[in-house]
C-alpha cells in the first residue's frame, strides 16, 4: 500500500507532518532543495505523490515525454537500453 493511499484520509496538517518525518532529510540533501525556505519545502512535500517501486520495475520508458519530476529517496535506479 502506498503512502498516498493512507495519507489522503488525513487532514493536510497531519499529512504534512508525516511527509516531513519520512522524507525531509533525504529531500534536503538534494541540490534541488539547497538553500530553499522551509515554507516552500513544506508546500513541495504536500504536493508530492509518493510512489514505491519494486526491484526491476520500469519507471520510465526511454524517449517518453514527461511532465513529472521524480526524486529517488532510496534505492538504486538503473538506466537500461531497450
Q: If you average pLDDT over residues 9-20, what whole number do you get?
A: 83
pLDDT band with cut points at 50, 70 and 90 for residue 82: low
> What pLDDT shows up at residue 19?
83
In this structure, is the dihedral angle defined by the CA atoms of residues 13, 16, 18 and 20, taken in order, positive or negative?
Answer: negative
What's residue 71's pLDDT? 79
Distance set, CA 56 to CA 5, 78, 82 (Å): 23, 9, 14
pLDDT at 3 (0 to 100): 67
- List, for residues 38-81, the tens digit of each pLDDT value: 888 888 887 877 788 888 888 888 888 888 888 777 788 888 77
Q: What is the pLDDT of residue 39?
A: 87
Amino acid at each position: 500500500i502506498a503512502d498516498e493511499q493512507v495519507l489522503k484520509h488525513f487532514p493536510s496538517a497531519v499529512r504534512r507532518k508525516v511527509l516531513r518525518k519520512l522524507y525531509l532529510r533525504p529531500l534536503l540533501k538534494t541540490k534541488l532543495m539547497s538553500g530553499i525556505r522551509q515554507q516552500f519545502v513544506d508546500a513541495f512535500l504536500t504536493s508530492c505523490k509518493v510512489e514505491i517501486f519494486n526491484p526491476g520495475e520500469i519507471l520510465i520508458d526511454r524517449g517518453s515525454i514527461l511532465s513529472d519530476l521524480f526524486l529517488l529517496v532510496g534505492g538504486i535506479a538503473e538506466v537500461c537500453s531497450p
